[in-house]
Structure 1
């Protein structure tokens, strides 16, 4: 067993009342790096959390061997359980706390200067990481910052990081723990093209430092350093192979898809907005600054009813800030020349007047959305623009919410709490929440993060069908060119806060 890092043998794995795995057997040896692939809900994330010790093992065994190497080290002299300390798990959602450590961040906090001051900086956060020093480890703060291109962000508050910047920070924090085993759950989601292209080199440096890797990823994005692949389906490992022996064509998703156009047309005509706006958005030399940092510089953007735009740019280019001005979340909108739905900001309209005309979803909204409502309640809350349903459910609106769930192929989760379904299905619930009120403007900020191939295809076809059947205006943000719906025919690209061609 000296060559084995850990093994799971005939284990039954449970979380609350749910059985996640039965007779699970999985083993990793030193020098191996594994990719976990499979469709949404197949069990990839659950397997990573099982290895990290998050779930109960009620049958069989899970055994870790790497703690034995440090049995006589100073790090173990205080009776610390080294197995837990030597595993680092990077999840899709972060768990940052504010400076006072009394409450979690909330969604609009990054745009309110007085509230965002209660946030750690990147430097503060990384310096707080406690690591286990073991022979041969070499991950220093400077090395982690350099690898993940974080030096320029050291003084930036966590709440103001872009989604992609946050992903890089979470990976840096994991490395500073000097783990034996690094677990990554869909690490490429939210990363721009440049960072994704660099990811192979990042992974090679991590594995060369002696860290073993297990990552949940797409069959299309398996790094070169991966040596073995496990395929999951319906809570079971159905195939294991070395990378050299693995045939990805056997596991590519069925690319057939169908949309119920009649049902979608019916849904789009419920509570249809009769108002025809001339300008959905009109921005004139918009300038956003926090302290000495310019986020947006002289941005001009005119959007008319029925236009479909792609908003593109690297991580930290200013896309989320630009969208926050449209969605009513950023108070600096009042200090700029911005017209929304034919009305200049600051001339009497409320935030809720704006939000009721917009269907919005983003990685940040997903990060901070409360998860204790059922999925059906989450979608119904879209009528009220609240983060959850804080009133008795309306029978008619709940029925419409269920119809949208069927259109998005997630109706099986209707009565399940949002927190107990796969992350990709959570995103689809929030997309249904954005669609349910038939808004004049849809803003989809990286909507396909974490979705499997079929889910991405179905959602893309759904968006195109909605655009064909209605005069809805669309702003679509993504780092993946293939995700952009065919109905999108205009583009605005940002680079360091400026509009570029």
Structure 2
């Protein structure tokens, strides 16, 4: 389909790398400054569809009890899944009929069915509203937007060359050896046997049967609201719903005298939201070392062996020259690689990576995939990759998929 011209403007897809200041661009778009090249004028009305917009509406709802979106009169925005939140927000913004709707990484953290529903909504509105889509992954660019741009080194937007080769680290480096060994009685790390979970009388999970063994590489997938987070919190010991059920963690039945800390010390965990936990004063090296000490930041003097091992991890990531830089001065891709290393430095029996590619551009996503494959292949840790997406190049061995039913989600191995 050809690009459409609306009120003198044209749909535009802008491909951004993680080194580009996206927040400044969004601010300029909303304030209609330095946007002549995109056809936005002082008279244009502009709305933003992004995760940030969702958070603003949630804050409004928390303060006043109603956020202004009509659908939330029936069900609060806070009680909806992330996919449902995005669907009702998009419908609300479309009813406002702005001249321009800026779409910021619109498909992040959404299952395939929700992505397709949003694409249909956007396509149906494309004859009356001009879209400016900001995307980090080429696969996310909307098919009906023919005008695709990317920022140049000179600060102007130029046509996006989709055939540009993606760069990735190819250095052969050895994964640093563990500094400690875990005393585990068997290779079986996690076992769910006919586990059920309900909240306030609503069944969330039913008949869950799943075993994770040492060294296995799993993907956990399922649509928004299917119970993936509930399963993860049961593995990490944070969910009381595991008590009284046939749930075994590291050889012990849940509720048999273990502590939540004895479970957590055996689990490495990453979610992109962890990026916000590290203050300005934390250097990259300090952040890596804190993984040995289970601290957010470094408040204990590390041993020489821990420092040496952390530097070996930075060498593997080709980041040793940035060891003393503040963590928040690194690029988003560098931060993500470092957070994975921090979760892995102790070689935990299980490494959980929850949406580790969210917000990354194609080049950095490729680097992270290479690192995950390396850790799965060259260590004895079981890797649990959590995502809706099936990523090319990711060498998962098994998939545990949650399937929603009227009586809660069931799981199947595929």
Same fold (TM over 0.5): yes
Offset at 1:340? 0.4
Contact 1:38 1:231 in 2 (8 A): yes
Q: Partners in 2 of 1:174 and 1:421 — Cα distance? A: 34
Match of 2:250 in 1: 341
Question: In 2 relative to 1, CA 334–409 (structure 1 residues): closer, same or farther, beyond 3 Å?
Answer: farther
Name which of 261, 264, 281 aligns with 2:173: 261
Offset at 1:348? 1.8
The alignment yields a C-alpha RMSD, in angstroms, of 3.7
Tell me, what secondary structure is at the counterpart of 2:140?
coil
Offset at 1:351? 1.3
| Stretch deviating more after TM superposition (407-416 or 31-40) | 407-416
Offset at 1:167? 4.4
Q: Partners in 2 of 1:372 and 1:296 — Cα distance? A: 40
Match of 1:240 in 2: 158
Name which of 306, 309, 321 aligns with 2:215: 306
Moved over 6 A (4+): 62-65
Q: Partners in 1 of 2:283 and 2:80 — Cα distance? A: 28
Name which of 377, 396, 401 aligns with 1:493: 401
Offset at 1:195? 2.5
Residue 277 of structure 1 pairs with residue 186 of structure 2: yes
Match of 2:75 in 1: 155
Matches within 5 A, 1:192-203: 192-203=111-122
Tell me, what secondary structure is at the counterpart of 2:226?
coil
TM-score by length of 1: 0.69
Tell me, what secondary structure is at the counterpart of 1:283?
strand
Matches within 5 A, 1:331-370: 331-363=240-272, 365-366=273-274, 369=277
Match of 2:150 in 1: 231
Tell me, what secondary structure is at the counterpart of 1:128?
coil
Offset at 1:451? 2.1
Residue 322 of structure 1 pairs with residue 240 of structure 2: no
Question: In 2 relative to 1, CA 53–381 (structure 1 residues): closer, same or farther, beyond 3 Å?
Answer: farther
Name which of 47, 50, 59 aligns with 1:90: 50
Offset at 1:452? 2.4
- What is the number of residues matched between the two proteins? 401
Contact 2:197 2:241 in 1 (8 A): yes
Name which of 105, 115, 125 aligns with 1:186: 105
Q: Partners in 2 of 1:198 and 1:97 — Cα distance? A: 21
Match of 2:352 in 1: 443
Question: In 2 relative to 1, CA 43–442 (structure 1 residues): closer, same or farther, beyond 3 Å?
Answer: same
Offset at 1:406? 4.2
Tell me, what secondary structure is at the counterpart of 2:394?
coil
Offset at 1:457? 2.4
Match of 1:294 in 2: 203
Point out where structure 2 has 5 or more consecutive residues left out of the alignment: none
1:124-160 deviation per Cα after TM superposition (whole angstroms, max 9, x unaligned): 87x523xxxxxxxxxx846xx9xxxxx9xx53662x6
Offset at 1:280? 0.5
1:378-431 deviation per Cα after TM superposition (whole angstroms, max 9, x unaligned): 333322334x22614536445544443443355566455555554444433322
TM-score by length of 2: 0.81
Q: Partners in 2 of 1:405 and 1:92 — Cα distance? A: 32
Point out where structure 1 has 5 or more consecutive residues left out of the alignment: 6-27, 70-82, 102-118, 130-139, 146-150
Match of 1:464 in 2: 373
Question: In 2 relative to 1, CA 415–182 (structure 1 residues): closer, same or farther, beyond 3 Å?
Answer: farther
Name which of 342, 360, 372 aligns with 1:433: 342
Question: In 2 relative to 1, CA 91–98 (structure 1 residues): closer, same or farther, beyond 3 Å?
Answer: closer
